[in-house]
Structure 1
Amino acid sequence: MNANTVKGDTIEARLRCLGANDVQQVQGTLYFVTFDISDCEVSYTYNINAKNKYFLQRIKPYPIPEGIFSNEGQVVEFIKRDLIKFENAHHSHNFSKFVEVTQMIQTTTKEMETFFLNYNVDKECLDQLLEDLETIQRTIRNAKSRSEHIIV
């Protein structure tokens, strides 16, 4: 018996004890792909699920789910376009700041989840957070409206 199967069965049993209605074991395949663009590493992970669909996620320089694709050609085409965009963006003087801001947003998302799941957040705090986020979104919209759009 495979050690991964035993671990999977143990986790499944524990999840059922927690009240899980359904736990499905899916025969999938997981891949990691890494590219070097100058001094920047861009990497992805994708898995093929039981329905032969491809779930793709960029993991570096910052994690973001990219979606579900029907076939490997779509995955390759997406990554190809994404790499061209990163190559182009890497030439910007602001690239390192862009990555820093994006990583801060990822950290903030995790901190927000921890905050909301572990604390009783008052309305005043929530209102302030919404106001601050609306300001950030407005700043992004304004910057987009006055910036040149790059077509790839």
Structure 2
Amino acid sequence: MLLSKEQLSSVMAKHSERENGLHDLMEIMLESMMLAERREFLDQSKGNKGNGYRQGRSFGHGRVLEFRIPRDRYGNFHPKILALLRDQELECERLAGSLYCRGLTQGQVGEIFGEIYGEHYSKASISRMIDYLRSDVQEWLNRPLEGYYPIVFIAVR
């Protein structure tokens, strides 16, 4: 059954009014985009076929999105939309860490995220983002150091 644009728009509008409806629509949209991307990929690589799905997760609008990532037979298909989501997630973590390091409280960081992304992030969400930063900093602080570091001085007249 094919739906017209108007029918599809009406169904999506009704669904988005439900509790978690917008969240569900986001997951459906991501899966559809990845399927279309795989279809294009398989058209380009002869002899390759679709081979089911694997589970995927991402963080979006203060919630965890869960979706199915389509696979191909040879494991060469990697959806580009996932790279965009990963970049966005890393950017959110960097922004949260930067604001927190400048002295803002987790609540203030959540308010700024609300202004930027249109949805208020909870203190718990901001805390999780900052924990990633803390683990990176701790890893850097605990890195092994060399016993000897050569130094070169260059004098310019």
Q: TM-score, normalised by structure 2?
A: 0.25
Larger Rg: 2
Highest RCO, 1 vs 2 (Cα 8 Å, sep ≥ 6) = 2
> What's the TM-score once normalised by structure 1's chain length?
0.26
**Higher strand fraction: Structure 1 or Structure 2?**
1
